[in-house]
Chains A and B, each alone.
Chain A
Amino acid sequence: MENNIENKEMTAQQSLGIITEMINNSRRTILQNSAKHFLLWGILLTVTSLVIYELWHVTGSPIWNCAWFVMPALGFPIVRILDGKHSDVPQNEINKQLGLIWLTYCIFAVIISVIAMLAVPMNISLVIAVLLGFAECISGFLLKNWTITIGGLILGIGGAVATSLIYNEAQLLIFTLGGIILVVTGLIIKFQYK
């Protein structure tokens, strides 16, 4: 069907065709819009983890972990700018739930990090890796994409094991892998809903 709809009568078959096409097109547009969020946070996570890794490695000081808080401080304003360009793209159930999952992840990650730094020392990398894998895995189920789901499982379970076996700045490389998985997720969504 041409992308120019008039208000004329049609057959039952044509009606069904319009319904299917409109629902699919709209879903594609909405999810394409979600892909850029995965790309943005994936790039930010990869770059931040590599920068902190390098600074920690060179100076020998874990104090550089404070730089993690730069990530949300930088990421959320960029999200606002990105969404502003496509401000007329609406929300559907899937992207609303994706947003809630990752917002919950972010809240957990920030609060647990603050508690770990100020009050109760814990293997924070393990907790964050599990949370990241968990959020990625559920995103895969929501998007009905097994590659994303398996990526989440590998990240969560593999990350938990790896962060228990390796220490100090080397743990940060788990998050570099996490960032790459998020970028790949964004690319998968972009291609799946092209």
Chain B
Amino acid sequence: MFPKLDPLLHSELRLAVMSILAGVDSAEFSYIKKQTGATSGNLSVQLDKLSAAGYISVEKGFKGKVPCTTCKITPTGLTAFENYVNSLKEYLI
């Protein structure tokens, strides 16, 4: 019996965001957008979903005079991501 994959992570853009955030302290919206090639609107929606699930924290602030949104993976998000990767392994073995 295969384990059920976390539906929140089993989506290309959300998984890409989590993969980026798992390897860094925190990342700005512009960096995630560049790395994923997603549109601002779509990325915002997906970040909101991850944030609502408690997988990431989103901080809105300013860098000088420019608005800046910073995302950071939470311990809950990291655990969910690890579980997701472990479940994937079982599918592939």
* Residues of A bordering B, CB below 8 Å: 2-10, 12-16, 18-19, 22-23, 25-27, 29-30, 87-92, 96
Smallest CB separation, B1 vs chain A (Å): 15
Interface size (B, Cβ < 8 Å)? 33
Cβ-closest chain A residue relative to B91: A12
Cβ 8 A contact of A4, one of B10, B14, B37: B37
Cβ 8 A contact of A9, one of B11, B22, B27: B11
* Residues of B bordering A, CB below 8 Å: 5, 10-16, 19-20, 22-28, 30-31, 34-38, 42, 45-46, 63, 84-85, 88, 91-92
Cβ 8 A contact of B23, one of A5, A6, A13, A23: A23
Smallest CB separation, B78 vs chain A (Å): 13
**What would be 20 A-B contacts, judged by CB atoms less than 8 Å apart?**
A3-B37, A4-B38, A6-B42, A7-B45, A7-B46, A10-B11, A13-B92, A15-B5, A15-B88, A22-B15, A23-B22, A23-B23, A25-B35, A26-B23, A26-B35, A27-B23, A88-B30, A88-B34, A91-B24, A91-B25
State A104–B92 Cα separation when bound (angstroms): 45
The reply to whether B88 and A5 form a contact with Cβ atoms under 8 Å apart is no
Cβ 8 A contact of B12, one of A7, A91, A96: A7
The reply to whether B11 and A19 form a contact with Cβ atoms under 8 Å apart is no
If the complex has contacts A5-B13, A6-B13, are A29 and B88 also in contact, measured as CB distance less than 8 A?
no
Taking A10-B12, A87-B63 as known contacts, 13 extra A-B pairs with beta carbons closer than 8 A to each other, sorted by chain A number, are A4-B37, A6-B42, A7-B11, A9-B11, A10-B11, A12-B5, A12-B91, A19-B15, A22-B19, A90-B27, A91-B25, A92-B23, A92-B25
